[in-house]
Structure 1
């Protein structure tokens, strides 16, 4: 446990972290990769370049300082990050390295303001927080390895099928190369895919939601091809998967992870809201619902640019014909003439308060949503304005956590 003096010292740094947090985390990653370039095999290079990882770490450090006297308040965040760490292969021996360079970055950015007392306090605090992560992650590795069909880090899977779902999304059906069993997973969880791209000196790891229910002989991921757009570079891994990976190829896969999962024991109506490739965990939730609890009312809402970018529409509509408790609604921002002629959508434009509340009807439902960050912010604001309780709002970011 931390002493009262250490807690007060850490809390005194909260205003400084609010101002200089990003500068500290940028300096931290510069130092980390300079001294330990092998860690570039774990981190997402694109998130580094875009500043997303630095922002996520700055938020985490700030939250730790703010709640240092009641660390149990950040335990859900610890577990969320620990899921990602386990799926990436982060190990206990990485934490002293991180601590060394984080403290050095604080000292370098703050200069004389980083007194010996402050650095000692942060060293103590980091040790406590790191121990929490190490303990949680050790349990996750053990559980992952010991479950039926499980494994600890990465395992070879063969691409059994590759299916184009829309103009931008392709599904990959993955079966274990060793022919053994595969671990069960909760609807909404993801796996990590480790790729070695020819010509690149480091491996790339990306996390993709599982897009089908558990209990099958395969895992399915449905990947959006991220082409270059308005100054944003193309997604190296997604383009490589779309263009280079063929049926029969072998990929290194982590066991399923993640805490954005459908609460199967809940009795409230379910509302699944997705934008773009945020559809993928929702399809897993939907398919699980159809197989286990189709008497529970479920509203499925998906927003896409237009019909050509709308994946798995036929599958969802077929389920709606089979299950009277399933209501489906499509929202197209820029419908094509073909969409209009076929009456292929229910709303043109963006999801807004009047439309969403009229479609759902019952604000005492359990809401799950996923998609681009601006989309999630808009949905979150609608739900808050409607008066949906916080405990009924569930969402996940693709990539480092941000703020809605």
Structure 2
């Protein structure tokens, strides 16, 4: 924990630093990328940078971590860093990069806050940073060891064995080692990072959930991402990596693929499962269902999926087959537009509605889909009496919480 002196200083200055952190992080990234332009080109997500998502995520993480450090009684701060550590490990982040971040972050704090950053304030927040950084470094070291690799050595050159059109805008890829050596098994629900070299020379990296099909290979699905207008009036850019994979990667091509990481993994035991997804959020659920079928599980499973139309529903037939092959599984689907298909108890037109869905009180619930969808479902689950600690979710992109 923090020293007593730093704890008091951080507690006293947290309102000021917290209020300014949203101004500090853009300055930090500007300084960082000016000094190390290769980081923006070859490591950071340029789309998230352009939208400001990465800046908001960093601001929220620092403020939340500092709040936990000075709380009288709260959760272990280490618990909130798991998702970030897994993402870092999937990117190959190493301990030597943390001093670089420290240099430019503290220069940004001084630039924004000026004389308010006294030596005592600087020392206290320096302690916060290194507490957070060293905790992440320790977690990431354990993740690398668990993956059987040295820190940072996570990417492998793999060959695309199969490409399948799963929906009009979604393709799946099965990748394998060029020499046929079986790839290590992933935990159901984990993801891999895919690095591609784009036409402008930038190396960009994105994460995709493993859908778990054939032993010794990894499979993942990619939905094309078009520019889209947000509710706040901004326009989200097209998906650079996803669209490149759609347009340019086929059987026999090589891909730079990381070892599997991710904390949204299936819990052991016999408790019921509720799997809730929308759109391409179906992918980790497929990984769960393939694992349950492969292990002969008889756990009760409720699969709830929402999509635009049946035609847009990627892996629709595969999902039906998996549910049909599990003795304790049921499924309900919602489509915004059913077309001419009639509604029935397990097939409904409209947005997802949990009002009439039976939810076992002791179920472990998993969510994956767009953040607004997960936030709405999370709220509905809480209203139905599902304990918050039984609800787990995956957010791709900068980490965000589902409830304030």
Aligned to 1:228: 227
Aligned to 1:67: 68
Q: Distance in 2 between matches of 1:185 and 1:261?
A: 10
Q: Distance in 1 between matches of 2:27 and 2:96?
A: 21
Aligned to 1:298: 301
Contact 2:273 2:365 in 1 (8 A): yes
Aligned to 2:162: 161
The Cα of 1:174 is off from its aligned counterpart by: 0.4
Q: Distance in 1 between matches of 2:179 and 2:114?
A: 54
Contact 1:11 1:68 in 2 (8 A): no
Aligned to 2:187: 186
Q: Distance in 1 between matches of 2:374 and 2:55?
A: 21
Aligned to 2:388: 390
TM value normalised by structure 1? 0.92
> Cα–Cα, structure 1 residues 43 and 296, in superposed 2: closer, same or farther, change >3 Å?
same
Q: Distance in 1 between matches of 2:143 and 2:158?
A: 21
> Which of 238, 244, 250 does residue 240 from structure 1 map onto?
244
Contact 2:189 2:287 in 1 (8 A): yes
> Which of 134, 140, 147 does residue 137 from structure 2 map onto?
134
> Cα–Cα, structure 1 residues 169 and 360, in superposed 2: closer, same or farther, change >3 Å?
farther
Q: Distance in 2 between matches of 1:17 and 1:277?
A: 37
Contact 2:276 2:304 in 1 (8 A): yes
Q: Distance in 2 between matches of 1:336 and 1:167?
A: 16
The Cα of 1:153 is off from its aligned counterpart by: 1.8
> Which of 302, 306, 311 does residue 308 from structure 1 map onto?
311
Aligned length: 394
> Which of 367, 370, 373 does residue 369 from structure 1 map onto?
367
Contact 2:366 2:392 in 1 (8 A): yes
Q: Distance in 1 between matches of 2:380 and 2:62?
A: 29
Aligned to 1:173: 174
> Cα–Cα, structure 1 residues 329 and 156, in superposed 2: closer, same or farther, change >3 Å?
same
Contact 1:300 1:328 in 2 (8 A): yes
What is the SS of the residue equivalent to 2:108? helix
TM value normalised by structure 2? 0.92
> Which of 82, 85, 90 does residue 93 from structure 2 map onto?
90
> Does the alignment pair 1:29 with 2:33?
no
What is the SS of the residue equivalent to 1:165? strand
Contact 1:10 1:68 in 2 (8 A): no
Long gaps (5+) in structure 2: 230-234
What is the SS of the residue equivalent to 1:186? coil
Aligned to 2:339: 336
How much is the aligned-residue C-alpha RMSD, in angstroms? 2.1
Aligned to 2:108: 105
Aligned to 2:348: 347
Contact 1:224 1:238 in 2 (8 A): yes
What is the SS of the residue equivalent to 2:241? helix
For residues 223-302 of structure 1, the aligned pairs below 5 Å read 223-230=222-229, 231-263=235-267, 265-302=268-305
The Cα of 1:334 is off from its aligned counterpart by: 2.2
After TM superposition, what 4+ stretches of structure 1 lie above 6 angstroms from structure 2? 342-345
Aligned to 1:79: 82
Q: Distance in 2 between matches of 1:321 and 1:79?
A: 34
The Cα of 1:72 is off from its aligned counterpart by: 6.2
Long gaps (5+) in structure 1: none
Contact 1:190 1:256 in 2 (8 A): yes
Deviation digits for residues 228-255 of structure 1 (CA, Å, limit 9, x no counterpart)? 2233221111111001111100001110
What is the SS of the residue equivalent to 2:291? helix
